[in-house]
Structure 1
Amino acid sequence: MTLQARTQTSYWLETAPPGAPAPVPAGDTTVDVAVVGAGIAGLSAAWELTRRGRSVAVLEAGRIAAGVTGHTTAKLTALHTLVYDRLRRTRGTDAARLYARSQTDAIRRAAEIVDELGIDCEWEEAAAYTYVRDGARADEVRAEAAAAREAGLPAEYVTETELPFPVAGAVRVTGQAQFHPRKYLLALADEIRRRGGLMHERTRVVDLTEGEPCVLTTENGARITADAVVVATHYPVFDRALLFTRLSPRRELVVAAPIAEERAPRGMYITPEENTRSMRTAPYGEGKRLLIVTGEHFTPGAGDDVEERFERLAEWAARHFGDLTFTHRWATQDNDSTDSVPLVGPLHPGSRHTYVATGFGGWGLSGGIMAGGLLGELITGGTAPWRDLYDPGRVASVVREGTEFLKHQAQVAGHFVGDRLPPLSGPSVTGIAPGDGAVVHAGGERCAVYRDDDGQVHAVSARCTHLGCLVAFNRAERAWECPCHGSRFAPDGQILQGPAVRPLEQRDI
């Protein structure tokens, strides 16, 4: 087993290069709908609106499909671990049925688009499994199988799988899919352009003025005027409804290694045990497939030893699948809603022309495609039977899920208070090793200090520019991370991931 992966780049990004960047806006632009974010949710919404005859501009802070969607494990399924039994208990059987219908409709919609546009994205039909190995938890998956079947999925409880280890029980749902998400989305972006849609990369939106029309302002001062705005930035960069109180960020690691085709599982698997283990395989040349294993979730900025977590995940994969040479490793980030259901619809209760898609909880592919269809209907005056299920303004589910809500808020409140108290002690700049970083007290404030491989020190403010929580250093990925809402920054303070829209301020120490 080789733990040192050849690259820390996502396999999807490496095998589907983006080509020439889409231009930043040369000046002010007017369109029917402006979409902020070019991941699966944003591009799906742009596609649905373009095909309905709306003029659309997509504004992406980085590159198309290079953010969260470019770091997924790319499972397109309506079986989301143990969601159906929970929904049945907290929101009722009708809600569970609508959830199943909407997620299944998203898979069908993606298959239609692949067929219609002739997209070569390694589309494969596969069964999805949620399994447990602990016999004491078998009743959980048995209940999930019953709830998923009642919700309308072709779900069954099984005790045998193709995995190289025994399971105590599993839910199996056939007719699901897996694919290359970046190839799919780059083709979709090309078709949006062909139909007259505008694509802008390296275009960070920093301000939104709601009205009739709405106006977006970009980092370089360009103004985009639109009748409607979709905020599909994974974590909302504009949070007029305080959705951050109902979202908690979660980061997960991914390791990948080639495996002989005859030893490769063809289904898609996940277990809530062992701090989550998720796996599937993808085409990888003659006689091989790429084994993709995900897990070891943690709160970004919590100070975990991420390198140790990578080692743990790789060791687990090698222990179960034999001697492996890891070619890729990367990490992804998800936002969990307090009731396990995404937030898709009006940005806030008083909103008439602004919309949001967030809180996909690790199931952003089916969720993002679903969100695109739902937002297309809402913006063009159509109907969708599951609009109330996903409405961000829903209240009853938050009350039912009060424990999760209060737990998350207590964690964030702890940072808001604790991060503002004077430090009793802490590391010194001289104690920071090359390639590492730490928050130190210097010049009367906390500074985030990074020492590069050549020994040069780089310092920025340690306060996240979103709401002021203190960042922490992720040594494995060399990034500053905020534990409150998941903003991430490069060692020099530049934004890697929102909701922050301003970099960390430079400091001279």
Structure 2
Amino acid sequence: MNALDTPDRSYWMQTAGFPDFAPLTAPTEVDTVVVGGGIAGISTAWELARAGRGVVLLEADRLASGVTGHTTGKLTALHTAVYDTLRSRHGEDAARLYAASQSAALRHVLTVAEGLGVDCGLERRPALTYCERPDGVEGLRAEAEAARAAGLDASFVTETGLPYPVAGAVRVENQAQFHPLAYLRALVDDLVAHGGRVYEGTRVTDVDGGDPCRVTTASGITVTARHVVVATHHPLFDHGVLAARLTQHRDLVVAGPLPADRDPDGMYITEEGGKRSVRTAPLGDGRRLLIVTGEAFAPGTGEDTEAGYERLLGWTERHFPGVTVTHRWAAQDNSSTDTLPLIGALPTAGGNVYVATGFAGWGMTGGVLAGQLIASLVAGTGERWEGLYDPGRFGPAVRSAPALLKAQWETGKHFVKDRLDTWGEGTGGPVDELRPGGGTVVRVGGKPCAVHRDDRGGLHAVSAVCTHMGCLVAFNNAERTWECPCHGSRFDVDGAVLQGPALEPLERRDPGDL
């Protein structure tokens, strides 16, 4: 099957069976309101409800339909090659705390799944970070040593279960993989059983910290609470302070059935070749679902995403011949400029507001960790690694200043370059040459306009100015979305917000003016 013929659908979302929840329709008061229904938000709400607190969970769309619903579902403390970096940038104590906290989150999932009797395809597997090129071996040897010094059961190996040779790999034993939405479905059911209230289709547009806090929705409804948790992937309502410390990237995913006797028996990742990640999941019919991730790119840069899918499909066919791709999807992640996630009190919110973000593609353990840590902060007990993840940390931010400046330089370039590009025929060519399924940014009446031609030939026109901070969006031709290169906001072809930090849609334009 050609990648172009495969519908965009996440296997997890297709098979999760989440219940529907109504939108919030009336003002309410509660101890804690959690904004965002991904793994970080659901985990936090569940932890708080289990601790006896009144909880309201608000999700703008459907639960787990964002980043969480498009993950690869790995539960591991081996995060590519993070430990050598942590040790050199932040010291050995930081690396040990990172390993301990991520490992604790993994064990927590195992305990919770067993306690709730969750059937979520949970399997223990080794995690491996590998390289195929000999010039990557020295770095992986250093990573294996750093991971081992941090407390992980890590070793350097040259043999793996992959059907192709590698030059070397870091292997960490006793990690896990699961069906993330099946796990979260059980947490949501238990959350509701413990008095938690869940509302979907409820977009939050403002958060005021203090005592009490107030949360306002797009429909003007207010929730009053003692505590607010912002678990929206990108840290909304932080007035751009944390946003400046985050970079965005998207990964493409293809998946298809694989005979069980060809299972590589592990979770694999390499940064080579635009990144490749490999794992399988049980299908229950004697086969496994092979899941391959890669072709990482920054959103909003105008990448030919369909070509990326084709490259990923070609790689899969060469390395796992005979696999027919049945699913494809994409996920967006953000990373902090100092490597560490941002979990804890939001420093710009006025008090009693907490945030969880910057998981760098490792949101399964990161989201569970966030739930545990924020629940402990709300309770006033804390965890021994709270300082490591504190969003207001100063030392690591200073040490990561070059990365921060580079991220801001990239953002600044788009403010200038994108506007110059649209003085001509458009970033994707003139409108009259636009093919069905394509998009371009042009100037109409002196203003940048984002134009998409649908499969029937009709034109959809919206402002090309992102409503977050004013960068110009670019078209993603595979997902047919407009994406902002500065902070990763995403919009559909009619301007509706698909992913923040933008809160307002792109303004509609009249196609007749083109």
CA distance in 2 between partners of 1:419 and 1:65 (Å): 33
Match of 1:494 in 2: 496
CA distance in 1 between partners of 2:103 and 2:350 (Å): 29
Q: Does 1:11 align with 2:8?
A: no
Whether contact under 8 Å (1:125, 1:178) holds in the other structure is: yes
Whether contact under 8 Å (2:301, 2:474) holds in the other structure is: yes
CA distance in 2 between partners of 1:424 and 1:215 (Å): 43
Q: Does 1:430 align with 2:432?
A: yes
Deviation string 1:336-383 (CA, Å, 9 cap, x unpaired) is: 111111000111167430010000000000000001100001111012
Whether contact under 8 Å (1:98, 1:389) holds in the other structure is: yes
Q: Secondary structure at the match of 1:274?
A: helix
Match of 1:506 in 2: 508
Q: Secondary structure at the match of 1:453?
A: coil
Once the 2 structures are TM-superposed, how far is the Cα of residue 420 of structure 1 from its aligned partner?
A: 4.6
Once the 2 structures are TM-superposed, how far is the Cα of residue 10 of structure 1 from its aligned partner?
A: 0.4
Q: Does 1:64 align with 2:66?
A: no
CA distance in 1 between partners of 2:293 and 2:310 (Å): 12
Whether contact under 8 Å (1:346, 1:356) holds in the other structure is: yes
CA distance in 1 between partners of 2:456 and 2:287 (Å): 40
Once the 2 structures are TM-superposed, how far is the Cα of residue 166 of structure 1 from its aligned partner?
A: 1.0
Alignment of structure 1 residues 245-260 onto 2, 5 Å: 245-260=244-259
Q: Secondary structure at the match of 1:406?
A: helix
CA distance in 2 between partners of 1:97 and 1:241 (Å): 31
Describe the shift of the 1:350–1:328 C-alpha distance in structure 2 as closer, same or farther (beyond 3 A): closer
Q: Does 1:286 align with 2:288?
A: no
CA distance in 2 between partners of 1:235 and 1:251 (Å): 14
Deviation string 1:377-436 (CA, Å, 9 cap, x unpaired) is: 111101200001001111221222222211111000111233455843123221211111
Describe the shift of the 1:61–1:458 C-alpha distance in structure 2 as closer, same or farther (beyond 3 A): same
Worse overlay, 378-387 or 392-401: 392-401
Match of 2:204 in 1: 205
Deviation string 1:38-84 (CA, Å, 9 cap, x unpaired) is: 10100111111111111000000010111100000000100000000
CA distance in 2 between partners of 1:240 and 1:381 (Å): 26
CA distance in 1 between partners of 2:87 and 2:348 (Å): 26
CA distance in 1 between partners of 2:282 and 2:228 (Å): 38
Task: Tell me which amino acid in the other structure corresponds to 2:435.
Answer: A
Match of 2:115 in 1: 116
Whether contact under 8 Å (1:241, 1:349) holds in the other structure is: no
Task: Tell me which amino acid in the other structure corresponds to 1:470.
Answer: L
Task: Tell me which amino acid in the other structure corresponds to 2:381.
Answer: G
CA distance in 1 between partners of 2:280 and 2:194 (Å): 34
Task: Tell me which amino acid in the other structure corresponds to 2:16.
Answer: A
Once the 2 structures are TM-superposed, how far is the Cα of residue 24 of structure 1 from its aligned partner?
A: 1.1
CA distance in 1 between partners of 2:327 and 2:262 (Å): 19
CA distance in 2 between partners of 1:212 and 1:395 (Å): 26
CA distance in 1 between partners of 2:488 and 2:3 (Å): 27
Whether contact under 8 Å (1:65, 1:186) holds in the other structure is: no
Alignment of structure 1 residues 21-100 onto 2, 5 Å: 21-100=20-99
CA distance in 2 between partners of 1:383 and 1:399 (Å): 24
Once the 2 structures are TM-superposed, how far is the Cα of residue 476 of structure 1 from its aligned partner?
A: 0.7
Q: How big is the alpha-carbon RMSD for the aligned residues of Structure 1 and Structure 2? A: 1.3
Whether contact under 8 Å (1:252, 1:295) holds in the other structure is: yes
Task: Tell me which amino acid in the other structure corresponds to 2:370.
Answer: A
Describe the shift of the 1:3–1:475 C-alpha distance in structure 2 as closer, same or farther (beyond 3 A): closer
Once the 2 structures are TM-superposed, how far is the Cα of residue 133 of structure 1 from its aligned partner?
A: 1.0
Whether contact under 8 Å (1:2, 1:324) holds in the other structure is: no
Once the 2 structures are TM-superposed, how far is the Cα of residue 492 of structure 1 from its aligned partner?
A: 0.6
Describe the shift of the 1:16–1:134 C-alpha distance in structure 2 as closer, same or farther (beyond 3 A): same
* Structure 2: segments with no counterpart, 5+ residues: none
Deviation string 1:296-331 (CA, Å, 9 cap, x unpaired) is: 100001011000000001111110111221000000
Identity value in percent: 55
CA distance in 1 between partners of 2:327 and 2:224 (Å): 41
Whether contact under 8 Å (1:339, 1:398) holds in the other structure is: yes
Match of 2:162 in 1: 163
Match of 1:439 in 2: 441
Worse overlay, 216-225 or 347-356: 347-356
Worse overlay, 3-12 or 50-59: 3-12
Task: Tell me which amino acid in the other structure corresponds to 1:441.
Answer: R
Match of 2:150 in 1: 151
CA distance in 2 between partners of 1:416 and 1:189 (Å): 41
Alignment of structure 1 residues 117-136 onto 2, 5 Å: 117-136=116-135
Q: Secondary structure at the match of 1:107?
A: helix
Alignment of structure 1 residues 30-429 onto 2, 5 Å: 30-240=29-239, 242-348=241-347, 351-421=350-420, 423-426=422-425, 427-429=429-431
Once the 2 structures are TM-superposed, how far is the Cα of residue 484 of structure 1 from its aligned partner?
A: 0.4
Whether contact under 8 Å (1:35, 1:46) holds in the other structure is: yes
Whether contact under 8 Å (1:4, 1:326) holds in the other structure is: no
Worse overlay, 139-148 or 409-418: 409-418
Deviation string 1:66-125 (CA, Å, 9 cap, x unpaired) is: 110000000010000000000000000000000000000000111111011111111111
Match of 2:460 in 1: 458
Q: Secondary structure at the match of 2:330?
A: strand
CA distance in 2 between partners of 1:67 and 1:15 (Å): 15
Q: Secondary structure at the match of 2:273?
A: coil
Worse overlay, 483-492 or 396-405: 396-405
Once the 2 structures are TM-superposed, how far is the Cα of residue 6 of structure 1 from its aligned partner?
A: 3.7
Match of 2:471 in 1: 469
CA distance in 1 between partners of 2:350 and 2:155 (Å): 42
Q: Secondary structure at the match of 2:307?
A: helix
Q: Secondary structure at the match of 2:413?
A: helix
CA distance in 2 between partners of 1:350 and 1:214 (Å): 10
CA distance in 1 between partners of 2:240 and 2:247 (Å): 15
CA distance in 2 between partners of 1:363 and 1:452 (Å): 35
Q: Secondary structure at the match of 1:503?
A: coil
Task: Tell me which amino acid in the other structure corresponds to 2:9.
Answer: T
TM-score, length-scaled by structure 2: 0.97
